[in-house]
Amino acid sequence: MESYTHIAHLLIGFLCICLSGYVLSHAPSTIATELQISEVSFGVVVLALATTLPEKFVALLSGFRSHAGILVANTVGSNILLLTLCLGIVLVDAGGDFDSGSVSAIELAFMWFSTLLLTGTAWYGGRWTRMIGVSMVGLYIAFLALEILWIKRVV
């Protein structure tokens, strides 16, 4: 009987996520138009944060409870899903005509370096994980600053 309650909670949560996804996919363009700001700027700042907050919450709770496996699986799994799902949708929509877009070498370097750092941390772990975590947060802040101020010049 208790398992049915958990399954019901899981299904209700899934339906809530589907509803919020629908709202998040339609509301930003309307809000950006009303505020007379660029849809790209609004999407980068607000939508990117809003869509990843639930998984960040799970990651924080996992970290505080010392569940490193859940933390890594959540982070890596969500990023792999987002990359394959979003890239798959773009490739289907592009109909085979897909160029490289505006991805810069700096963005690729940050992506590859952070991937290697996460892989090394997951494989070898040990006593350096806290220092690596702090450095990854620092790298993320540096990347956002470079992205906004220099690479894309959003501001």
Q: Is residue 44 part of a domain?
A: no
Q: Is residue 104 part of a domain?
A: yes
Q: Is residue 39 part of a domain?
A: no
Q: Is residue 47 part of a domain?
A: no
Contact (Cβ atoms closer than 8 angstroms) between residue 42 and residue 31: yes
Residue 146's H or E segment, with its range, is helix 129-146
Q: Which residues of the chain have pLDDT under 70?
A: 1, 44, 47-48, 51, 86-103, 125-127, 151-155
Q: Which two tokens stand for residue 14?
A: 């899934």
> How high is the pLDDT of residue 127?
66
Number of domains into which the chain is organized: 1
Q: Is residue 142 part of a domain?
A: yes
Residue 104 region, left (φ>0) first, then alpha (ψ -120 to 50), else beta?
Answer: beta
> How high is the pLDDT of residue 94?
61
> How high is the pLDDT of residue 143?
85
> How high is the pLDDT of residue 144?
84
Q: What is the pTM of this model?
A: 0.51
The DSSP-derived string for 27-73 is HHHHHHHHHT--HHHHIIIIIHHHHHHHHHHHHHHHHHTT-HHHHHH
> How high is the pLDDT of residue 11?
92
**Residue 96 DSSP label:** T
* Residue numbers of the domain that contains 150: 100-155
Q: Is residue 126 part of a domain?
A: yes
Q: Is residue 58 part of a domain?
A: no
Contact (Cβ atoms closer than 8 angstroms) between residue 54 and residue 24: no
Contact (Cβ atoms closer than 8 angstroms) between residue 148 and residue 142: no
